[in-house]
Structure 1
């Protein structure tokens, strides 16, 4: 596996890679790299658990070009399985396909043993209900030979008489069922009408004989670059009936947004591939969430979507190439209203409507607009800094006087990618960690278990999931804890065993790693925090902090009154660890709060209240966008923020509650294990 001539295999979404001799089964490569790929049949092509999707074309992010012959041709086992049970287009069986040349291989969620926990649950919120799509019960005049009018015209007359609906329209699929429905209901029917905030004419979405009491539902979807989260919402009560999420399948084309733009640039038709992948994922998610809530998917009559600009363009089938270069022009920044089926949503009502919130600017999208709708910084008396943390972070700073916005390319490290023992949030992943500053010993908690690792019953409680790796919130806390325990200095260097007094600091070449958990003697994982991991987190947090500071500079302030952490990350990390790391500017800890999935909440507000759509369309025009890519001070702030928590900012509020030790592990020529002698100074 060390021969550089061997083919390179890159697995997504984990990012794990290695070189393997030609002819190595994909499943074997996955197991040797510790990739989470399921298989229960011993590689005989029976269970289908090891399905994978190879990617072809130019992957600049991974530095590899994948040719059509990167994997072996279909064999008889795959052919037989496809005939009997069916394989999705593009899928291969990992136990049968063998590596022939460099290849990028995506492991879909259903093929993962420890499936992703999409931590974007709906946040409880009081919303004034006035949805765009509502039910109306009417009694329609029967046809009369002496007054020759059509059934649709008499339905319109009834709606105007009983509900003051001025005008309606209906498409051909609705017209074809209108007459039998009216007669079955004995001229009493319930109609679902969609009223746009821009158009006085209402559209008939559905019609039922008599009184329909089955309810109406909508989907609020937060389409992120890493995950897609959906909330199935009752359009009468606003109640969230079910929340669900899946990984964004576009990860196989690139973990971050610019990688996907690059893929579209380098591969003709690459944008079409990514559009098809995400539309299929959303349609599948809609089916699954309806099944989970035990409702008829045909009762889902409206969809509201929020997403960043690159996702926005790829969802709409627009090539995102212009977003990859200055001046980062959007095809449209306005809200978009269209038929849901135009976005490939076939599982829900065939006449369902879709609404996409407006984008703020080329790198600040509809998801940031949704956060603004949810958190309302423009209505705040105090100066609020709102950070929606993700692969591409959106940042808002404002109060009643003005609101500023920017985006910051944090990358996928916060999601557990690019981390040596990193993984997505799934049962068995370390999500929280504490290091005793005296003994330097760790204790941790994993997803799926409420116990800490030093509590009685932990081993039994985690026997089924195991301890598999460390996810985004876990690595954030681990780095902050290393700093607080004096095992890592301000620059991010981990000390040696001799310098720190603990054998958990292990030499790895010229640097050191901290050993969190080791089950290698029983065939389990060895989980460490490496110097490379810390560097990845430093880069991510520096970009986040620099974006926030840039907005503060624009506003002319050195402090903010409060900080709101939004997104899945914000709900799963303590303000203390975020502050120690220097992800956010210094503030009193009681003024640092979590808003949960604020983008998803904003989508639900727009779904449940038609006036909110007009409001956010007005609001985004008043938000001032700051472009980090062309601001010289961004790089200055970024470099200073590489230190933990910061090179020059004093962080007085943090010092009150968590004074940090100040070791220095820069050996300046010493042996990395701490045993070398200093160079003799010339004198």
Structure 2
């Protein structure tokens, strides 16, 4: 559904503002895959009233004539010359999903423990301090030695008086982090957070039962500065202000999601003692406000890799009690972050037999290969093509997006849309894979990725299909939908973008197998929201993954988010994090001697 917005401009301000800046300042959500650099053509809005600067050459290339006639503009290209009223477009509609969670049937042994104590009352014979009274009681009754968070001292006496010295103590890593009146030991909750480049997911977990009570997700609001980590890194290193903006955006996204999830489930924020967070190295650095310049270029040195523990007020999470602790899981190295560690933990590949490949496919793609000797990991620069972000008619998976097709060479190409809608809006990421795979199988797209010309196509192919293929300016396209008002096509450039993305993944796999001295894989595990919607036969058909039996390829869902949850529920998984990292070898692909040759070979469909 379209929405109308009034954008106010201070006319006495000598510095002109682009529409995209005004849109961002007003927290209006539109697609900005390239970060407002005038490359993706996604930030379309319709200008209803007001004066703006003239059309640019970039817009003439990226917008259709009909759009220009209807006053559709690219927000990153136009300046506001006064107050402007705009309307967002349906094609800017975005959805946010992360995939299912991997459940574990182990007995719960949470890293956060709540203990109910009935403390002896103070008396002339027992003049121990409140702090010592609690510490002694824990030692005597539970054989637990603890330290005490001094920030609790200011309210401790009032809490104990309120409940006649009956209190619930929350312990994390041998430290008392909270004291509550009365018996609240069965109200023990945690929150797991998966910070993806595209999507942020928050999970509310009952630390007693292990149940995931609720899930909330939204688009990472940093997306306004670019769809991929490189765009955001480049933006962050331009100025300290930009870096702080990116930190603010992710903190705000997280805070809103937590506020919504605890409100919907009527959970007292004081019963949430712990938050675990996973994300790639860039997302972790931006969350902490760390400089990202070091990871932008060789030798890719990070400001930090180790686990970070702190209080949530450091992250400006105001929806939680300020004494709530957060754990930012350790990164592994380079662009391989704590999200990969989370996936390794939740998938339990360390204990699986044979050579096991874990692929976490998203805006960024991380790979982990478990052999009999070690785990090898790498990150591939797949870019946002899998999300449809840098494609002419690309979009995220929502109603009206083409996700597949059936091809009858004697009849036509029959598209399938999400929601089975009669109107087509665009093509989602998995749709590009399915379309290209099937069109390549029918030789409408040739092995090197080129759209076949009419001379290339067999005579017995129907006229309907042939009429869909035509040359627009310098390149061919395959028209999939056209109702007279809107058309959706598969462009030659789209195929190239997908080839580059899938070649990055295939190259990463092959180089890990070379480094691990592995000739054959026994199983493949595919994780990530995008990975959850892939057709195995089609990704094998375009040579994105090795051709092993389908029964040995398993779709996991959100393995990274599952890892964030499981380290809260199981002390052994939390305690094993460092051992896994110690026995994991990070492989830097860019400098590998075989990279260029394998990458070139992997481009073929």
The answer to whether the superposition gives a TM-score over 0.5 is yes
Give 5+ residue unaligned stretches, structure 1. Answer: 1-6, 35-42, 44-52, 56-63, 76-92, 97-106, 450-457, 645-683
Is structure 2 residue 558 aligned with structure 1 residue 558?
no
Please give the secondary structure, in 2, of the residue aligned with 1:270. Answer: helix
**Partner in structure 2 of residue 601 of structure 1:** 562
Distance 2:206 2:382 in 1: 35
Distance 1:303 1:638 in 2: 40
Q: 1:479 to 1:294 in 2, by over 3 A?
A: farther
Q: Which runs of 4+ in 1 moved over 6 A?
A: 7-11, 18-22
Alpha-carbon offset, residue 607 of structure 1: 1.6
Alpha-carbon offset, residue 556 of structure 1: 2.4
Is structure 2 residue 376 aligned with structure 1 residue 351?
no
Distance 1:206 1:435 in 2: 65
Q: 1:72 to 1:120 in 2, by over 3 A?
A: farther
Write out per-residue CA displacement over residues 534-572 of structure 1, whole angstroms, 9 at most, x where no aligned residue. 111001001111111111111223331211111111110
Query: How do residues 176-575 of structure 1 correspond to structure 2 at under 5 angstroms?
Result: 176-194=154-172, 196=173, 201-207=174-180, 209-212=181-184, 215-446=187-418, 449=419, 458=420, 462=421, 466-497=423-454, 499-500=456-457, 501=461, 502=465, 503-519=467-483, 521=484, 523=485, 525-575=486-536
Write out per-residue CA displacement over residues 482-506 of structure 1, whole angstroms, 9 at most, x where no aligned residue. 1122211101112235644322223
Please give the secondary structure, in 2, of the residue aligned with 1:273. Answer: helix
Q: 1:33 to 1:353 in 2, by over 3 A?
A: farther
Alpha-carbon offset, residue 630 of structure 1: 1.3
Q: Note if contact 2:91-2:425 (Cα within 8 Å) is conserved in structure 1.
A: no
Aligned residues: 554
Distance 1:178 1:72 in 2: 58
Q: 1:113 to 1:225 in 2, by over 3 A?
A: closer
Distance 2:503 2:555 in 1: 20
Distance 1:225 1:168 in 2: 38
Is structure 2 residue 119 aligned with structure 1 residue 140?
yes
Query: How do residues 73-112 of structure 1 correspond to structure 2 at under 5 angstroms?
Result: 75=83, 95=86
**Partner in structure 1 of residue 542 of structure 2:** 581
Q: 1:170 to 1:322 in 2, by over 3 A?
A: same
Distance 1:512 1:215 in 2: 61
Please give the secondary structure, in 1, of the residue aligned with 2:510. Answer: helix
Distance 1:270 1:219 in 2: 28
Structure with bigger RCO (C-alpha 8 Å, 6+ apart): 2
Q: Note if contact 2:405-2:413 (Cα within 8 Å) is conserved in structure 1.
A: no
Is structure 2 residue 578 aligned with structure 1 residue 617?
yes
Alpha-carbon offset, residue 591 of structure 1: 1.6
Please give the secondary structure, in 1, of the residue aligned with 2:434. Answer: helix
Q: 1:438 to 1:131 in 2, by over 3 A?
A: farther
Distance 1:387 1:496 in 2: 35
Alpha-carbon offset, residue 214 of structure 1: 6.4
Write out per-residue CA displacement over residues 268-302 of structure 1, whole angstroms, 9 at most, x where no aligned residue. 43222211111111111111222333333443221
Give 5+ residue unaligned stretches, structure 2. Answer: 1-16, 21-29, 34-39, 65-70
Alpha-carbon offset, residue 579 of structure 1: 0.6
Q: 1:211 to 1:33 in 2, by over 3 A?
A: farther
Query: How do residues 7-86 of structure 1 correspond to structure 2 at under 5 angstroms?
Result: 12-14=31-33, 15-16=40-41, 23-24=51-52, 70-72=79-81, 75=83
Alpha-carbon offset, residue 437 of structure 1: 4.9
Distance 2:551 2:523 in 1: 9
**Partner in structure 1 of residue 590 of structure 2:** 629
Q: 1:113 to 1:324 in 2, by over 3 A?
A: closer
Alpha-carbon offset, residue 380 of structure 1: 2.3
Distance 1:214 1:440 in 2: 61
Alpha-carbon offset, residue 166 of structure 1: 1.1
Alpha-carbon offset, residue 123 of structure 1: 3.2
Q: Note if contact 1:507-1:513 (Cα within 8 Å) is conserved in structure 2.
A: yes
Please give the secondary structure, in 2, of the residue aligned with 1:414. Answer: helix
The counterpart of 2:138, out of the listed 124, 140, 159, is: 159
Alpha-carbon offset, residue 616 of structure 1: 1.5
Alpha-carbon offset, residue 160 of structure 1: 2.0
Write out per-residue CA displacement over residues 567-604 of structure 1, whole angstroms, 9 at most, x where no aligned residue. 11111011111111221122122222211111111111
Distance 2:343 2:43 in 1: 40
